[in-house]
């Protein structure tokens, strides 16, 4: 088979349609390196969980030192590539500064991630141990990587944060934009099909089930018809909210009030007051107050004393 016509057609396509990695120009972040960065980060957050051989206490300092050193070098290289893409005036110098800032936030980040593990263990009666949560629950990977990507997003690093969260998306089916702001004790049960948009804000002790979407109603466009960037498009979710499977919450001015429960398969584009239950009855959305029970049976979760 003569491959020359195919080669020539591909070369012509590169010239006409683009989509190649800036030949003779800026080298973009490498996907393999970004995936390795995400993997090393998870090893650093949970030492001893993902290694091929067991760690002892005396091994941990050297192990952490090696992981940190590798993470620093890889992160600095990919941040520099990202900054060159955005035509930063001093990409190498700024990459060193941003890398140091991001790595400096790892201890605090790990404390928050531990609350997510706790929320998963307390929120799922099927979980038999914390170790099972860390090793087998997709939410640990997707949320942990998003939290690190969010640090880089807040620091203004282009490209790389989205590539990191896409690694989590690819592995778990959970798509969380690095711009989303997420409180402590966050749990996504099952995870598949969850979509959380860039400007979503999520409070503490929030629980989501599979297929939940925190999305935009529509996109405002500029005079040329292109979407306007940087505006609030996604909803706010208050503290101690549960969103059941396939609930869709849309709009930058939509807020789900604290201590509310949103039922499965609802479609919401208006704010829900605190302490509410929202569900479909027939084809109508019903929103009613949650009612405190007179007694509180031990059900093993934070909603035991409420009629939901």
Are the folds of 28-173 and 193-302 the same?
no
Q: Where exactly are the structural domains of the chain? A: 28-173, 193-302
CATH superfamily of the 193-302 domain: Hexapeptide repeat proteins (2.160.10.10)
- Record the pTM: 0.88
Cβ–Cβ under 8 Å, residues 190 and 209: yes
Instruction: Give me the percent of the chain exceeding a pLDDT of 70.
Output: 92
CA distance to 143, 182, 255, 272, per residue, from 214 (Å): 15, 12, 11, 14
How confident is the model over 177-220, as pLDDT tens digits?
999 999 999 999 999 999 999 999 999 999 999 999 999 997 77
- Which pLDDT score, from 0 to 100, does residue 21 have? 57
Q: Give me the mean pLDDT over the 275-299 stretch.
A: 76
How sure is the predictor about 292, in pLDDT bands with cuts at 50, 70 and 90?
A: low
Q: What confidence tier does 114 reach under pLDDT thresholds 50, 70, 90?
A: very high
Share of the chain above pLDDT 90, in %: 78
**Domain spanning 28-173: which CATH class is it, in words?**
mainly alpha
The residue among 249, 195, 252, 175 whose CA lies nearest residue 220 is 252
pLDDT, tens digit, 9 for 90 and up, residues 72-113? 999 999 999 999 999 999 999 999 999 999 999 999 999 999
Q: Is pLDDT at 303 greater than 90 in this prediction?
A: no
Task: Please state the rounded mean pLDDT for residues 269-286.
Answer: 94
| Mean pLDDT of all residues belonging to the chain | 91
Higher-confidence residue: 78 or 7? Answer: 78
Q: Please list, in sequence order, all residues whose beta carbon lies within 8 angstroms of the beta carbon of residue 61, skipping any fewer than 6 positions away.
A: none
- Per-residue confidence at 221, pLDDT binned at 50, 70, 90? confident
Q: Which of 68, 67, 80, 74 is nearest to 26 (CA)?
A: 80
The confidence score (pLDDT) of residue 124 equals 96
């Amino acid at each position: 088979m003569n491959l020359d016509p195919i080669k020539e057609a591909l070369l012509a396509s590169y010239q006409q349609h683009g989509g190649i990695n800036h030949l003779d120009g800026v080298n973009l972040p490498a996907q393999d390196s970004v995936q390795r960065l995400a993997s090393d980060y998870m090893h650093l957050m949970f030492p001893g969980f993902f290694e091929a051989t067991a760690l002892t206490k005396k091994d941990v300092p050297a192990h952490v030192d090696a992981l940190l050193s590798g993470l620093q070098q890889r992160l600095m290289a990919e941040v520099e590539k990202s900054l060159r893409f955005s035509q930063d005036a001093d990409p190498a110098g700024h990459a060193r500064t941003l890398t140091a800032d991001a790595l400096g936030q790892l201890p605090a980040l790990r404390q928050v991630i531990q609350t997510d593990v706790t929320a998963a263990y307390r929120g799922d009666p099927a979980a038999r141990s914390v170790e099972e949560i860390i090793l087998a629950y997709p939410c640990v990977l997707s949320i942990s990587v998003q939290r690190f990507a969010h640090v880089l997003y807040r620091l203004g690093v282009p490209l790389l944060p989205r590539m990191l969260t896409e690694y989590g998306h690819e592995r778990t089916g959970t798509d969380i934009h690095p711009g989303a702001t997420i409180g402590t004790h966050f749990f996504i049960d099952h995870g598949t099909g969850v979509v959380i948009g860039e400007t979503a804000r999520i409070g503490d002790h929030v629980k989501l089930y599979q297929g939940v979407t925190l999305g935009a109603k529509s996109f405002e466009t500029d005079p040329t018809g292109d979407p306007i960037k940087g505006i609030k498009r996604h909803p706010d979710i208050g503290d101690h909210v549960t969103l059941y499977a396939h609930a869709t919450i849309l709009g930058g001015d939509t807020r789900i009030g604290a201590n509310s429960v949103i039922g499965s398969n609802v479609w919401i584009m208006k704010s829900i007051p605190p302490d509410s239950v929202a569900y479909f009855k027939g084809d109508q959305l019903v929103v009613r107050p949650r009612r405190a029970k007179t007694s509180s049976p031990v059900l093993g979760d934070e909603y035991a004393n409420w009629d939901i």
